[in-house]
Chains A and B, each alone.
Chain A
């Protein structure tokens, strides 16, 4: 089955800096890679996702890159703000379940200091 590893587990940056979170996956047939943000006491919410036929996707200050050869994908946040502080989870599906079943990384706690 799919195995997803996420690094780092914690990340502290100064406001305005960039933050990068990296995930690796094991199933080369995986084709969909979402990123979720979970603020303290709240539900995980999708912030960006990418499909395997695309190498990069951007949405304002957030971008995701995918390297299928190396089987890793990364979340990039530019010009970080205190409200970006949260736990971020990556995920990938197994090929046998399409998009329905996801395996999540263990999460990255991002702290943005003013």
Chain B
């Protein structure tokens, strides 16, 4: 069974901090994704990666960056956290076909 693990379920940070969200998958998937989930807005793609060191912007990349140094790990970075980045963040991975999601990180920026 595919396992996508996000490093934290809940995280509280302060405005202006640099925040790292980590995601690891164990199925050797080429493609990994970071989404943001807000009520009434569904899942919006922030960034995705189709190979090590490769990345592409999604629909809402502003204020975020990503890193993929190893195939199994995809990190989301909030360069300078702001209160409007308070949200649920979901990581997903796939090789071909359906995406498999992690449990999510609920991030609060105070």
Contact = CB atoms under 8 A, between A and B. Distances in A.
Contacts of B64: none
B101 A45 contact: yes
Interface of B: 31, 33, 35, 40-45, 48, 50, 58, 90, 94, 96-104
B48 A101 contact: yes
B33, B35, B99, B104 — most chain A CB neighbours (10 Å): B99
Interface size, A (range): 20 to 34
A16 B101 CA distance: 30
Interface of A: 6, 9, 32, 34, 36, 42-46, 49, 89, 99-107
Given A89-B42, A99-B97, A106-B41, A43 B103 contact: yes
B60 to A, nearest CB: 12
Contacts of B48: 100-101
8 contacts: A43-B90, A43-B103, A100-B31, A100-B50, A102-B99, A104-B35, A104-B43, A104-B44
Given A9-B40, A101-B48, A101-B58, 6 more contacts: A34-B98, A99-B96, A99-B97, A100-B96, A103-B45, A104-B43
A45 B101 CA distance: 7
